[in-house]
Every structure is written in C-alpha cells, then in structure tokens.
Amino acid sequence: MKKINNILKWTFSMIFITALVSCKKDFLNVSPKAVLSADQVSSGTEQFVTAAYASLENDGYTTPVSLWPYGNVRSGDAYKGGRDESDIQEFYFVEIFSSVRSDLGPFDGIWFQYYVAISRVNAAITSLNALPDSDPLKKTRLGEMHFLRGFWYFQLKILFKFIPYIDETVNTNDYANISNRQLTNDQLWDKIAADFQNGVDNLPSSQTDVGRANKYAALAYLAKTRLYQAYTQDDQNNVTGINTDKLNQVVSLTTQVLSSNYGLESDFANNFSLATENGTESIFAIQYSRNDGTPFGRLDFGDELSTPQGVGCCDFHKPSQNLANAYKTGTDGLPMTSTYNNSDLDLSVNTVDPRLDHTIAIPNHNYKYDPNTLYLASWNRTPTIYGYFASLKENVQKNQYIQNGPFYASDKNKILIRYADVMLWKAEALIELGRQDEALPLINQIRTRAKNSTGQLKLANGNFESNYNINTYKPGINCTWTQVYAREALRMERRLEFAMEGYRFFDLVRWGIADTYLNTYFTTEKTKRAYLKDGLFKKNRDEYLPIPLNQITFSHGLYKQNNGYVQ
C-alpha cells in the first residue's frame, strides 16, 4: 500500500530491535529463531496488521494475485505468450487443459503463498483480540483483517473449490486435523461471507490511509461472494440451480455500495493509468510503490511478464483473436453477440467498441495513451505463435517501467473491485430474478461511459485509433429486452468491460457454461493458433485446479483430490 508501505521499513526495524533487546546472558533461554510470538510484540499489533496488508504485494509472476493465467489464459481471452509453449509450460497446460497435474509447481506455490497470507491475518486477529475494547483502533483493524482473510479465501475458493478453512481459533497443533472436505461447498462460502460481514459491521465508510479496506469494500466483496454462492454446484462441479435468496441479498448489498460516494470514472482510461489511480471507481486496490527504501520498491511483480518485448521482457498474457473480435459492433452500435467471431477484426472495415483500444495494444496504435509512442509489430516476441496483440490494462507508458533484473514492472495500483463490477453484479442478479427491466439502465450506464471514453484514443495526427460506434440497448428500437436476451447482453458486457482483468474464466464456471463455451472457442481458435490444436475442456474436472500434491502429502492423505484428478 503506498501509504501503508511507508510503515514497513519501521515495522521490520522494530522487529529487528525487539530481537536484539530480548537477548539475555543466559543464552540457553532463547526463543525459537525466525518465530515472532504475539507476546514479543504485544505493543506492536499494528506491525502484524501491516504485515498482513503486505501480503497483497508479495506475489510473483508464477503466483500472481491478478490470476491472469487462471482467469484470462484459461478463458480464451488471452494466450499464454512468452517465447513458446515451453516457457512456463505449466501455464500452457492450463491454457489447453492438458497435463494439468497436482504436482505442478505454480499450483503449490499459489496455495502456499495464500495460506501464508492467511496466517499473517490470523496472527493479527489474535493480537488484536488481546487488546482492550477501549483501544480506539481495535474494532476497525479487526474489520480490516477479516476483510483480508475473506479476500484470500475467496481467491483460493475459486481456484481450488475445496479448501481447508483455518482461522485464529485453530491451534497450530490442530492444523493437521483440518480436512479440505471438512466444510461443504456452501459452508465454505458462508465462512468467507462471514469474514466480509465482519468487515461490513466494523469498518468505517472511509479510511484516512489510502489502501485500507472500508465498509463499502466489504459490502462489495460480500455481494460478490453471495453472487458466486447463488449458482449452486454439486461435488462434480455441475451448476444445479440458482438460489433466489442469495440473489436478493446481492441486490440489497450492491444497492448500498451504489448509493455511496463511489461512482464510474468519466473516462474508462482513468482506471488503468498511474496519474489517475485511487479514483472514484476504485473501491479496493492493491497499492504498489517505488522509491520506498526497498531495493526495487513494492512493484507489481505478478504482472511483470506482460510487458511487451519491445519494452524489455517478456511478452506474456497476449489478448486472443477471439477477444479482439468480440469488440466489433454492428451498425446499431451493439455487440455482435452471436456473429462476432465469424470473421477476424478488420479495422478498415469494422466499427468497434472504444474499450478495444483501452484493453488491447494493436500495431500502429498508441501504446498506453501516449501519442508519441506507437506500439509496433516488432515489439512482439514470437508473433508466429501468439500474434501481434499485447495487453494494456496492467501495463504503463514506456518511460514508467522500472527494471527488475531482466523484467520490467511498475508501481501502478491494481484495482480488485471497481464500481462497474458492483453495477454489473446487481444487473446480473436482477436478470436472474426476472427483473431484467431494472438491469437495463445499469448496463446502459456502463455502455454510455464506454462511448464517452475516446478522449485519450487519438493518434498524434488527431485521428481516432479506430472507427468507434457504440450504442445503448433500446428495447423496441434496436433490441427486444427479454430475460434471455438481457442475460446474453449482461454476459457480453462483463467480458467487454473486464477483459484481461482476471475474471472471465471464473464467470464461465459460475454460469455453468465453461465446457460449451471453451470447446467452441478451441474449435475455431486452433485454426488460427496451431499451438492450441490439443485444447479440450473436460467437464466436471477442469472447472478447478487440482489440490497440490505437496499439500496432500503434508496432510498425510487427509486432503481429498478434486473431481476428475488423480489423488
């Protein structure tokens, strides 16, 4: 966190000093090395809290918090990219859903990283609970920690489905007795929801420190949790129904957030630029930093592979041709929902949604809103395999990168919850409740904002990068707004609005359409990208990653493997 990170140096210095002053002449009476108990820092509860927040920034390119390999590459919105299929081969396996085994390192790495984060949160909660109730920050900090724990468990849940739930009440000696099947699918969602509800009950509406969770962030994540939970699943990952009570909760929760001081940015670009971060649409974001006393700063190392080769390294996370095609619009200014992929995007012929040029770098268009820097075809590492597009949202202008060895990263924040998210969650819940007419203005607000977001999409000569034509849905004029049509429109809108932000695959799984959607995608896309020829989604298995073999081994077989994978 940019402001919270300023505390980190002091925090770690205090930990070091604490260790020094606790030394005694009786060197036999020493605490275990590398272990910091709550008693040793009883006056330093804030350090535990800061360490818990710091976990948001402790990711790496094989274990990214953004989940780009799992949410985008697995969804058909992106190709893995890099040198070739063998470059971080595990991500190629998840892209084509082949050779996805429980012994693959990145799965174990992300599991371990997230549970380390949870352990920090649990330590902070334990320390906070020991404070007197009169402490002015106790209630707020507890709300923040419950929010963070809910976030980490939510990430684990959508990746692995069945996970062991460990909170601050569990003694470390009992960890080995907590099965990943101790709670049902629905019970796990309720546990995650309870953490976010704690945040709702205890957090203020706003925080002085930028980057701390507040009540609206907790409300938003609680709404997201209930929306996922609403699509009921059996143990074989089949969507068996939609829980209307949960949908009604989503409507209520999102309404509270939409009634806050947050709102849509006037320009879509403001969500993805260094100069305009922490804006009105950013409900909760990871706060990266530079020049903070650490060797490289608290940079976004999880997304550093996405930098085009023309900048430095490494040209991963490449938008797919299918995604580019999805931004085409008809003469009516609406998405070509059922026909967009009949032919590939041709900017000399097709009109497009402006969000295309906010999301995908296209040769001879501006690179990241800089009219003095064109994105060139030569910036691509292996275009014969992955084509000529690059991802834009997580990237920055060419002079804003920070070199980290062979890699190039930035300190641009990553928004985890946008106001637009909340709007479309409410619209989705309303549509599934048969109240699609109430969802229409929400979707149209998103489209209107997109239409007005062309100010930074001009070339140096003053011409727009593409020919834009986008319109709102007008029942009786350009559409018939039935529940079926509205559902299709909502799902397309989520794709266009949040492409390359890490959500698409999880949407497909939630809706229960991942198998049909992805196998249709492979049928066409492999004719354009030969490396996808073996792509095949296997229903009832590929909705989730396998439980890592190392974790099953450490549990002495207590953890049970997910459906379809070998134990």
Residue 267 to residue 264: CA distance in whole angstroms: 8
Asked whether the predicted pLDDT for residue 26 surpasses 80, the reply is no
Give the pLDDT score at 514.
98
Please report the pLDDT score of residue 157 as a whole number. Answer: 98
Residues 435-455 have a mean pLDDT of 98
The packing angle between helices 105-129 and 89-96, to 10°, is 100
Per-residue confidence at 561, pLDDT binned at 50, 70, 90? very high
How many Cα atoms within 13 Å fall on the side-chain side of residue 93? 16
Distances (CA, A) of 219 to 81, 96, 121: 36, 36, 19
Selection from 354, 331, 336 nearest residue 452 by Cα: 354
**Which range (18-22, 225-229, 393-397, 551-555) has the least confidence?**
18-22
Q: Tell me, rounded to whole angstroms, the distance of Cα 327 from its chain centroid.
A: 21
Closest CA to 266 of 467, 423, 466, 420: 420
**Secondary element (H or E) of residue 409:** strand 407-409
Mean pLDDT over 84-92 rounds to 97
Residue 389 has pLDDT above 90, yes or no: yes
Please give the model's pTM, rounded to 2 decimal places.
0.92
Return d(Cα 73, Cα 77) in angstroms, integer: 6
Q: Where are the alpha helices (DSSP H) in 390-471?
A: 419-432, 436-451
The encoded tokens of residue 163 equal: 């996970």
Spatial CA neighbour of 222 closest among 238, 203, 241, 242: 203
Hey, what CATH topology would domain 5-22+33-305+414-554 get? 1.25.40
Rounded CA gap, 564 and 567, in Å?
A: 9
Helices (H), 135-292: 138-160, 185-202, 215-230, 244-258
Token representation of residue 152? 């980490």
40 has pLDDT over 80: no
Average pLDDT, integer, range 351-370? 98
Among candidates 522, 501, 520, which has minimal Cα distance to 72?
501
Quote the CA–CA distance of 69 and 539 in Å, as a whole number.
19
CB 522 within 8 A of CB 531: no
pLDDT at res. 369:
97
The pLDDT assigned to 521 comes to 98
Question: Are 117 and 52 within 8 A, CB to CB?
Answer: yes
Task: Kindly state the percentage of the chain with pLDDT values over 90.
Answer: 89
Q: What is the pLDDT of residue 43?
A: 52
Cα separation, 24 vs 33, whole angstroms: 14
Q: Count of H helices and E strands in the chain?
A: 17, 14
Mean pLDDT of 126-138: 94
Determine the pLDDT at residue 20.
27
Q: Stretch 37-44: mean pLDDT, rounded?
A: 50
- What's the CA angle centered on 284, arms 443 and 71, to 5 degrees? 65
Give me the pLDDT at residue 6, please. 44
Q: Is the dihedral angle over the CA atoms 553, 558, 564, 567 positive or is it negative?
A: positive
In our burial notation (b when 16+ CB lie closer than 10 A, e otherwise), range 165-191 reads bbbbeeeeeeeeebebeebebeebbeb
Residue type, 160: F
Give the Cβ contact number of residue 103 at 10 Å. 13
pLDDT per residue as tens digits for the range 498-547: 999 999 999 999 999 999 999 999 999 999 999 999 999 999 999 999 99
In the structure, what pLDDT confidence band is assigned to residue 295 with cuts at 50, 70 and 90? confident
Under 8 Å between Cβ of 493 and 62:
no
Q: Would strands 231-233 and 414-418 be described as parallel, antiparallel, or unpaired? A: unpaired
Average pLDDT on 320-343 reads 98
What does the alpha-carbon distance between residue 336 and residue 346 come to, in Å, rounded to a whole number?
Answer: 14
Average pLDDT, the chain: 92
pLDDT range class, residue 36, cuts 50, 70, 90: very low
Q: Residues of the chain with pLDDT > 70: what percent?
A: 92
Strands 231-233 and 390-391: unpaired
Helix (H, G, I), strand (E, B) or coil at 471: coil
Per-residue pLDDT tens digits for 246-262 = 999 999 999 999 999 99
- The reported pLDDT for the residue numbered 400 is 95
Mean of pLDDT values over 137-141:
96
**Domain definitions of the chain by residue range:** 5-22+33-305+414-554
Q: Would you say the C-alpha torsion 271, 272, 277, 278 has a positive or negative sign?
A: positive
State which H helix or E strand residue 316 sits in: strand 316-319
Amino acid sitting at position 512: G
> Residue 450 in contact with residue 354, Cβ under 8 Å?
yes
**What DSSP character marks residue 329?**
E
User: Coil, helix or strand for 345?
Assistant: coil
Residue 63 has pLDDT above 50, yes or no: yes
Query: Most distant CA pair in the chain: distance in Å?
Result: 86
State the DSSP code for 271. Answer: G
Tell me the one-letter amino acid at 352: V
Average pLDDT over residues 151-173: 96
Q: Which of 355, 497, 506 is nearest to 422 (CA)?
A: 497
Least confident of 17-21, 113-117, 210-214, 531-535: 17-21
What are the tens digits of pLDDT across the range 91-118? 999 999 999 999 999 999 999 999 999 9
DSSP 366: E
The pLDDT, as a whole number, for residue 293 is 80
